Amino acid sequence: MGESMGVRSVCPYCGVGCGVILETRKGRVVNVKGDPDHPANRGKLCTKGITLHKTIHTPDRLTQPLMRKTHSDSFLPVSWDTALDRIGETFHSLIDTYGPGSIAFYISGQLMTEDYYVVNKLTKGFLKVNNLDSNSRLCMSSAVMGYRRAFGVDAPPCSYEDIYLSDCIFIIGSNTAYCHPVLFTRISEAKALKGNKPKIIVADPRRTPTASIADLYIPLNPGTDVALINGMIHILMNEGLIDEEFISSKTEGFEEIRKTVERYTPEIVSQICGIPPSLVREAALVYGEANAALTLWAMGINQSHQGTDKNNAVINLSLVTGNIGRPGTGPFSLTGQANAMGGRETGGLANLLPGHRYLENPSHRREVAAVWGCGEISETKGLTAVELFDAIHRGTIKAVWIICTNPVVSLPNSSRFEEALKRAELIVVQDLYRPTDTGLFADILLPAAGFGEKEGTMTNSERCISYFTKAVEPPGEALPDWKILANFARKMGLGVFFPYEKAEDVFEEYKQLTRGTDMDMTGITYERLRKQGPIQWPCPDEDHPGTPRLYTDGKFPTENGKARLIPVNYVSPAETSDSEYPFILTTGRLRDQWHTMTKTGKVESLMLHDPDPVLEINPNDSLKLSVKDGDLVVVESRRGEATVQTKVTDGVKEGTVFLPFHWGKLLGNNARANLITVEALDPFSKQPEFKACAVKIRKKTFDEKRKVVVVGNDPAGLMTLQTLIEINQSAEAILFSDTYPVDINLPKNILLRRELPVSIDTDSHYLVLRDGSRVLYENLVLALGNRFYIPHITGLSRQGVLFLDSLDQTRKDIAKLHVIGRSIVIGEGPLSLETVDWLRTRGLTVEFINPSTVLLEKQVDGIASELLFYELRKRGVSITIGAEVEAVLGNGRATGIQLADGENRKGDLILIETRERANVDLAFEAGILVNKGVVVGESLETSAPDVYAVGRVAEFCGITSSDPEILSQQAQVLGRLLAGDPTARYGSTISCNRFRMLGFDVVSFGEFNADDEESNVLTYLDKGQLVYKKITIRDNRVVGGLFLRDTSSAEEILELARKRTDISAFRSNLLSGNLNGRVPRGKVLCSCVGVTKEEILAGIKRGMNLDALKENLRVGVNCGTCLHEVRELVKTISSG
């Protein structure tokens, strides 16, 4: 197996910054576990972190630069020189013609600090391009501005250790349990350790899993956070629970605050927030009476057109109570991405420069320019994320370089930005994978090294810098992002300014720009990070231990050393509900997914808890709309719509609905939340308002008059139409087939035409018939089936030659013959062997010629093939393997065959198995993409617009199938889709071979022949009884199987494979087939160990409490994010 090695690194997902240990073997990362020595997580990992290795060595990795001339062309591989030359030439031309403002870079909070620094230096320093912004603009820029307005700099003052030292934790606008799971686990631990403290307050329009540990839950209306906090400050002032001494000596602006909050009485706040006045008062007293109070927040505060004011309201609450600079206190913004903090530090936003410097400040520009040697840095204001893509839409920006992010999915009102990308002259996308939603619009694709494939640093939410270790080589020609940019700089003639040979060179230059600043990290080196582990800035010299807590002396980096209290008033969301759009939509994340799912969407176990997006809706609203759990609804805003299933829950307030934002066009265009969201921006941070927009909802109906044409004789075509008509009775269809009888009983809205077209014009959407007439189509389904063909052998017209296409027909044909002496069967499939055995039982001498070098190569593995070979020999059958037949011998009547090597074999009866292949000719001639079959996607769509394929001709993920169950599933999916259900998707399926030969059954399916390091194989072999079982397992899921003779458990194992069931709990029983009562059913709740809801319910009914469930089922013992659901089940069963 090869020796395993452990390499310490950092998780690249959220801002918690968990330490990980990568297990590597033979140049691959094969496992990931938590680092017990890392201060952020102490060995804990969430479901995403423990599956990181499954996102690295994927088949869709970009491994070399790709380029195309126009968007209608295909990508072709090119050299790095060619790709960078084209970018450089285009940039030079555009800058010369239109100026630096015609270029933009859009980057990501998942880049390393070194990547951020190089791209910032390149753009703002040398290209004079200030249009450099990050997707951090979408998640953290309001926090940046809030901290900066209050403290003078963007510096979160707290540490994770403060969680354990706090008496009250106020969580507002953060579903910490899902978005920062390991941190949530630490909060739960702190509460368990201290009993009644810390008191936890959770304010959120949804009763999220985070609220499950709350002592006080506040279900405020979306966007009303400022009113709630001002109301709390109002009560604190009246109750004498503010820190007068701290306010007078350490802050400024208190009188403005006092005047502002006067009107926010509990009654006024109640009206705005939609909560009882008593709840406002209780929250204020719990917070104000705590000796140490800590406030945590994230996107619910930041993603608002009033996001900066909301941040300052939160900070005001900490300042007026003196909850800052002491253990267990502080306003703590939870960073969304792994290195959004590093990006803020290096100046990775349009308005920033390295070392907490600001582009609008002339002295800051001069300081940075002096270090870079770039001349003047332009004072031109750079465009932020939404502004940047608006400028592309207007044509002001002509070219954009997008690095490590997927804005087509993540930007608000994203259809507008798709249109923008279509207008750009050059789009460069630098990423790990292909395709991505954004990569579909690219002119040039550049392959980047990813997690575990490069070194560098990252800064987490608590200002803790960790070393990101390289464990394996990147695939193909992929390079670290900083190196790609440095190479490009050299192409632009700037090599002397970008001399870096390794990431450490970049870090050493960058940290000099922090010297003497509030974030001085000149005492941090790669060597220290490798030896000592993570360090919190500021750390001004190599003897400094790092700084866990800021402002402990009450001094702030403002002009007068005082923190600023910023008076803010409640402003309603940019869109409020009205009679036309009566609901407020809020968006967010799911437990097991990350951003736009380009990584987590590849991991099977992460797709089990929430396989599809659903709209959460209050029961009272569902009654008004006459919808129930699982119904399809259309959610529509003034910008776009999504069609999704509903989840009726009292976890959302009446009048509010929730939709996760992860899904994009590639994962299902129907459910894109950001087609709906509004582009309204915060005036200070320019962060969009994702958390509130007005929508209307209607139940999805299937009464549109849809017209569908099906071509072909495959039964899957008719099954598709039957499904279509069953769902949408207004649909009309034409079936072109020349095999169905004239008197077939079809629904009245299906017209049968007993002919097949001769060609398809996919541009003009019509079929051409034999008589030259044309038939227009709106939606065309190709159900072309398979075509039988005969191997190229001369002399096939001689008497005594029969063609095998079914055993029943062969029996009938042979019955008509007179005397038969010796028979020869030529073929490769099960039918050949069935025929051989049948002839043998009739007393005939049989010789079997198999042109393939392996018996039943496509249906069984080498062991089974060998067993069957010797069994046939034992039964008296002569077998020749790997021999091609060239001719049938004889004059008029067959007397034998001649092999390709010239050897002759005698025989009176020559039986030749026909072969079959997908009937792709019509599609191929129409210019539709074909391979083994007609290539289709998850909607069974082909490469031609409005053309689909179904049945044996459809090739999905490189596989065609004749399995009736698979064909039925395809027909169901396509029928639903054509009926008007955009949620219908055809997932990756496992095809099965079932046949009988030599008197016993054989079943094989999936990857029964897999031979790779990630697969485990269970086998049972009894040569004497000719019994052989083989099960292939990967990631604790069955991916293939082979059963010879004893097939009693084959169908059950196949079901496990098709349902992707976690088999770790009953793995030892798989071969025996003794699975009764052991196979888990239903939805997976605990993704870490694959425990289902039904298993947990069964345990509760047997008397298990939460602790017993954790001990016996191992549920919730790793990351703990499933525990809220488990608690709810325990509570429900116990009270019922």
Q: How confident is the model at residue 1 (pLDDT cuts 50, 70, 90)?
A: very low
The label of the residue with tokens 């927040």 reads 297
Inform me whether the pLDDT recorded for 560 exceeds 70.
yes
Which of 661, 691, 698, 693 has its CA nearest to residue 584? Answer: 693
Same domain, 971 and 1017: no
User: How does pLDDT run across 782-793, given as a tens digit for each residue?
Assistant: 999 998 888 889
b/e sequence 293-328, b meaning 16+ C-beta within 10 Å: bbbbbbbbbbbbbbbbbbbbbbbbbbbbbbbbbbbb
- C-alpha–C-alpha distance, residues 7 and 472, integer Å: 10
Residue with tokens 């001689």: 798
Domain harbouring 609, CATH code:
2.40.40.20
- CA gap 251, 556 in Å, rounded: 9
Return d(Cα 1057, Cα 1030) in angstroms, integer. 13
Residues 241 and 343 in one domain: no
Q: Is the pLDDT of residue 976 over 50?
A: yes
If we measure between CA atoms, which residue out of 880, 919, 893 comes closest to residue 802?
893
Instruction: Tell me, yes or no, whether 256 and 327 share the same domain.
Output: yes
**Domain of 937: which CATH number?**
3.50.50.60
Q: What is the separation of C-alpha 199 from the centre of its chain, rounded to a whole number of angstroms?
A: 35
The number of domains in the chain is 7
pLDDT in tens, 895-940: 999 999 999 999 989 999 988 899 999 999 999 999 999 999 989 9
What pLDDT score does 1062 carry? 82
Distance, in Å, from the CA atom of 1061 to the CA atom of 1071, rounded to the nearest integer, reads 16
Name residues whose C-beta falls within 8 Å of residue 697's C-beta, 6 or more positions apart in sequence.
583, 615, 617, 621, 625, 627, 633, 634, 635, 636, 657
Q: Could you give the C-alpha distances from 240 to 189, 243, 245, 531, in angstroms and in order?
A: 32, 8, 12, 49
Q: What is the 3-state secondary structure (H, E, C) of 600-637?
A: HHHCHHHHCCCCCCEEEECHHHHHHHCCCCCCEEEEEC
Q: What is the DSSP string of 136-174?
A: GGGTTHHHHHHHHHHHSS------TTHHHH-SEEEEES-
For residue 2, pLDDT beyond 60: no
Report whether 505 contacts 499 (CB < 8 A): yes
Residue 1080: band (very low, low, confident or very high) from pLDDT cuts 50, 70, 90? low
Same structural domain, 72 and 127: yes
Tell how far CA 262 is from the center of its chain: 47
pLDDT digits (tens, 9 = 90+) for 813-825: 877 776 567 899 9
CA dist 732 and 750 (Å) reads: 6
Instruction: List the structure tokens of 795.
Output: 């002399």
In a domain, 412, yes or no: no
Question: Does residue 1090 carry a pLDDT above 80?
Answer: no
Residue 410 domain flag: no
Considering only CA atoms, which of 479, 480, 473 is closest in space to residue 26? 473
Instruction: Please count the other Cβ atoms lying within 10 Å of the Cβ belonging to residue 412.
Output: 26
One domain for residues 657 and 638: yes
Asked if residue 1079 has pLDDT above 50, the reply is yes
CATH code of the domain containing 21:
2.20.25.90
Higher-scoring residue by pLDDT: 1060, 522: 522
Confidence category of residue 646, pLDDT binned at 50, 70, 90: very high
| Six-digit token string for 638 | 């003034």
How many angstroms separate the Cα of 141 from the Cα of each of 159, 722, 798?
20, 53, 82
Count of positions (residues) in the chain: 1136
Quick one: what percent of the chain has pLDDT higher than 90? Answer: 76
Q: Which letter, b or e, does each residue of 1008-1027 get, where b requires 16 or more Cβ atoms within 10 Å of its Cβ? A: bbbeeeeeebeeeeeeeebb
Q: Which residue, 679, 616, 669, 618, is CA-closest to 643?
A: 669
Query: In terms of domains, do 865 and 1012 share one?
Result: no
Query: What is the model's pLDDT at position 1081?
Result: 65
Q: What is the DSSP string of 1066-1079?
A: TGGGTTTT--TTTS
Phi, psi (rounded to 5 degrees) for 377: -90, 130
Burial classification of residue 1001, based on how many CB atoms lie within 10 Å of its CB (0-12 exposed, 13-18 middle, 19 or more buried) = middle
**Residue 607 confidence (pLDDT):** 87
- Looking at the structure, tell me whether residues 754 and 877 fall in a common domain: no
Does residue 548 lie in a domain region? no
Q: What mean pLDDT do residues 366-374 have?
A: 97
**Widest distance between CA atoms in the chain:** 116
Which stretch of 358-362, 646-650, 715-719, 874-878 has the lowest confidence by average pLDDT? 874-878
Report the pLDDT value the prediction gives residue 957, as an integer from 0 to 100.
Answer: 86
Q: What is the mean pLDDT of residues 231-249?
A: 98
Q: Write phi, then psi, for 694 (nearest 5 degrees).
A: -85, 135
Give yes or no for residue 5 having a pLDDT over 80.
no
8 A C-beta contact, residue 482 and residue 116: no
* Cα–Cα distance for residue pair 1058/1054, rounded to 1 Å: 6
Lowest-confidence segment of 174-183, 591-600, 767-776, 842-851 by average pLDDT: 842-851
Neighbouring CB atoms inside 10 A of 65's CB total 26
Chosen domain end from 865, 880, 913 = 913
pLDDT at residue 80 in the model: 98
Same domain, 778 and 815: no
Torsion of CA 430, 434, 436, 439, to 10 degrees: 50
Mapped onto helix, strand or coil, the DSSP state of residue 868 is: helix
Residue 765's SS3 state is coil
What is the Cβ-side half-sphere exposure of residue 129, based on CA atoms within 13 angstroms? 30
Listing DSSP states for 779-845 in one string gives EEEE---EEEE----BTTTSBTEEEES-HHHHHHHHHT-----EEEEE-SSHHHHHHHHHHHHTT-E
DSSP letter (8 states) at residue 77: E
φ and ψ of 58, to 5 deg: -100, 155
Say whether both 205 and 262 belong to one domain: yes
For position 292, what pLDDT does the model report?
Answer: 97
Please compute the mean of the pLDDT values over residues 1114-1130 and round it to a whole number. Answer: 82
Q: Residue 1113 falls within a domain, yes or no? A: yes
1136 pLDDT above the threshold of 70? no
Helix/strand/coil for 905: strand
Same domain, 196 and 222: yes
Non-local (6+) Cβ contacts of 1012 within 8 A are none
Mention every residue, 6+ apart, whose C-beta is less than 8 A from residue 595.
406, 410, 662
Choose the final residue of a domain: 452, 479, 500.
Answer: 500
Q: What is the pLDDT of residues 739-762, one digit of tens each?
A: 988 778 898 899 999 999 999 999
Cα 713 to chain center, whole Å? 37
Reduced to 3 states, what is the DSSP secondary structure of residue 956?
strand
In a domain, 821, yes or no: yes
Q: What is the pLDDT of residue 293?
A: 98
The reply to whether 971 and 1022 lie within a common domain is no
**How many Å apart are CA 600 and CA 590, to the nearest integer?**
11
Mean pLDDT value of segment 237-243: 97
Q: Is the residue at 495 inside a domain?
A: yes
> Of 697, 727, 760, which marks where a domain is finished?
697
Report the range of poorest mean pLDDT among 323-337, 343-357, 1110-1124. 1110-1124
Q: Which residues make Cβ contacts (< 8 Å) with residue 469, sequence separation at least 6? A: 7, 8, 9, 22, 452, 455
User: Is beta strand 947-949 parallel, antiparallel or unpaired with respect to 934-936?
Assistant: unpaired
Residues 821 and 851 in one domain: yes
Give the pair of three-digit tokens for residue 867.
């067993």
Tell me the CATH number at 482: 3.40.50.740
Helix (H, G, I), strand (E, B) or coil at 132: strand
Q: Tell me the residue range of the domain where 1044 lies.
A: 992-1135
pLDDT tens column, 260-299: 999 999 999 999 999 999 999 999 999 999 999 999 999 9
Q: How confident is the model at residue 949 (pLDDT cuts 50, 70, 90)?
A: very high
DSSP letters, 251-286, are: EE-HHHHHHHHTT--HHHHHHHHTS-HHHHHHHHHH
Does the structure show a pLDDT above 60 at 1077?
no
Does 84 fall in a domain?
Answer: yes
User: What confidence tier does 1078 reach under pLDDT thresholds 50, 70, 90?
Assistant: low
Q: How far is CA 309 from CA 186, 240, 386, 1046, in A?
A: 29, 25, 20, 70
Residue 979 DSSP class: H
| Phi, psi angle pair for 945, to nearest 5° | -65, 135
Rounded to an integer, the average pLDDT of 821-848 is 87
**Interatomic CA distance for residues 157 and 154, integer angstroms:** 9
Whether 489 is in a domain gets the answer yes
Give yes or no for a cis peptide into 277 (omega within 30° of 0): no
